[in-house]
Amino acid sequence: MTERPRAPFCADLARENDEPLVATASRIDNWFLIEYRGLWARDALTGSGLSDQVKERLREQVRSVPHGRLLFVRRPDRRRCPELVAFTAASRPSETTVTRTEFEAYDDLRGLDLLAGPPAGHPLFLVCTHGKHDPCCARYGRPLYEALRDELDPEWAWQVSHIGGDRFAGNLVCLPEGLYYGRVDRELAGSVLDEHLAGRISMANYRGRSIFTFPVQAAERRLREREGLVGIDDLSLRRVEREDGSLRVTFAAGAETHELRVHEEHGDLTRLTCNSESLERPPRYVVSPP
């Protein structure tokens, strides 16, 4: 029997097709990050060895805040550390914070309010390496994580479970700001990191900011490119109004305001993940003057 040829990796296909990175960051305001040293199943929390009571307690905390997301994190060098750690992060510009809570056993999570943890005192750089969710995440994420680990304080860089956009691997999220970067390889890691630590966005690899919806991310990207605004805090969202099937998005940049109109259309057919059984048309966002 002739063996069926393997389909190309979704990240390779997206690169070959030059699929745009813009407006692809998952919508998250509040992050819950649990160090989990067991195997990561495709659905990390559901497939984990945590008790049902711990899982429900974690889900309750995520539901208690707007746009919350629970993710697993790990660091290979911590496998034998006696303590475990959990982080939370808030990505709203008015409250960009990171907390850090240590605990001894997973059952301790049943009685912990993770949001009440003390400040971590440092940012977090998360690299998706969730190979059980999509092989591209491991294929491109692990070299990226190793590059960041060599550049940063060990407490700053972590591997993370599925954050969205497998086909844009290697994927990097910078917290607390909630900035997503895609197609970051070992060679690019240093420059993206340098720009971020200097308070600037590396536009070539920028996917978007998690506090914005996809259409607003598209408007933000267009405005930054048009006005040459690369500072992380150069823009603040003022209004989003729906008009005639499109959105009118208003940003402030210093004393000036800028309005843009965004409408959605279908992109080209592609495989969204390596596990996709059919081709799909991801949304694309066309930005124009109001």
Whichever domain contains 177, its CATH number is: 3.40.30.10
User: pLDDT tens digits for 122-167?
Assistant: 999 999 999 999 999 999 999 999 999 999 999 999 999 999 999 9
Amino acid 77: pLDDT: 95
CATH number at residue 260: 3.10.450
Cα separation, 155 vs 176, in Å, equals 14
- 186-197 and 135-151 helices, crossing angle to 10°: 60
For residue 5, what pLDDT is reported? 59
Instruction: Indicate the residue among 184, 207, 230 that finishes a domain.
Output: 207
* pLDDT score recorded for residue 1: 46
What is the number of domains present in the chain? 2
pLDDT tens digits, 5-19 = 567 899 999 999 999
Point out the domain boundary residue: 207, 232, 254.
Answer: 207
Average pLDDT (99-116) is 97
CB atoms closer than 10 angstroms to residue 174:
22
Domain match, 166 and 118 both: yes
Q: Report pLDDT digits (tens) over 35-77.
A: 999 999 999 999 999 999 999 999 999 999 999 999 999 999 9
Q: What is the mean pLDDT of the chain?
A: 95
- Does the residue 1 lie in any domain? no
Same domain as 201, residue 105: yes
Judgement on whether residues 31 and 125 belong to the same structural domain of the protein: yes
Could you give the CA distance from residue 50 to residue 56 in angstroms, rounded to a whole number? 10
Decide which of 207, 228, 247 is a domain's last residue.
207
